[in-house]
A and B are shown apart, each in its own frame.
Chain A
Amino acid sequence: DIQMTQSPASLSASLGETISIECRASEDIYSNLAWYQQKSGKSPQLLIYAANRLQDGVPSRFSGSGSGTQYSLKISGMQPEDEGDYFCLQGSKFPLTFGSGTKLEIK
Chain B
Amino acid sequence: QVQLQQSGAELVKPGSSVKISCKASGYTFTSYDMHWIKQQPGNGLEWIGWIYPGNGNTKYNQKFNGKATLTADKSSSTAYMQLSSLTSEDSAVYFCARSPPLNYYSGYYFDYWGQGVMVTVSS
Across the interface, B109 reaches (CB within 8 A) one of A42, A89, A99, A100, namely A89
Q: Mark out the residues of chain B between 17 and 63 whose CB falls within 8 Å of any chain A CB in the assembled complex.
A: 35, 44-47, 59, 61-63
Asked whether B80 is an interface residue with its Cβ less than 8 Å from the other chain, the reply is: no
- Contacts A94-B59, A101-B44: A43 and B95 contacting too (C-beta < 8 A)? yes
* Contact present for B114 and A49 (CB under 8 Å): no
Across the interface, B61 reaches (CB within 8 A) one of A29, A31, A32, A95, namely A95
- Contacts A43-B95, A43-B116, A44-B113: A97 and B108 contacting too (C-beta < 8 A)? no
Asked whether B111 is an interface residue with its Cβ less than 8 Å from the other chain, the reply is: yes
- Contacts A98-B45, A100-B44: A91 and B109 contacting too (C-beta < 8 A)? yes
Q: How far is the CA of A53 from the CA of B35 in the complex (A)?
A: 21
Chain B residues with CB under 8 Å of A31's CB are 105-107
Across the interface, A87 reaches (CB within 8 A) one of B44, B99, B105, B108, namely B44
Q: How far is the CA of A94 from the CA of B61 in the complex (A)?
A: 7
Across the interface, B113 reaches (CB within 8 A) one of A30, A43, A92, A99, namely A43
* Contact present for B109 and A49 (CB under 8 Å): yes
* Contact present for B47 and A95 (CB under 8 Å): yes
Give, as a whole number of angstroms, the nearest-CB distance from A56 to chain B: 9
Q: Mark out the residues of chain A between 55 and 101 whose CB falls within 8 Å of any chain B CB in the assembled complex.
A: 55, 87, 89-92, 94-101
- Contacts A34-B110, A91-B108: A98 and B116 contacting too (C-beta < 8 A)? no
Q: How far is the CA of A34 from the CA of B115 in the complex (A)?
A: 19
Chain B residues with CB under 8 Å of A30's CB are 104, 107
Residues of B within 8 A of A (CB): 35, 44-47, 59, 61-63, 95, 99, 104-111, 113-116
Enumerate the 3 nearest inter-chain pairs by beta-carbon distance, A residue then B residue, closest first: A32-B107, A91-B107, A91-B108
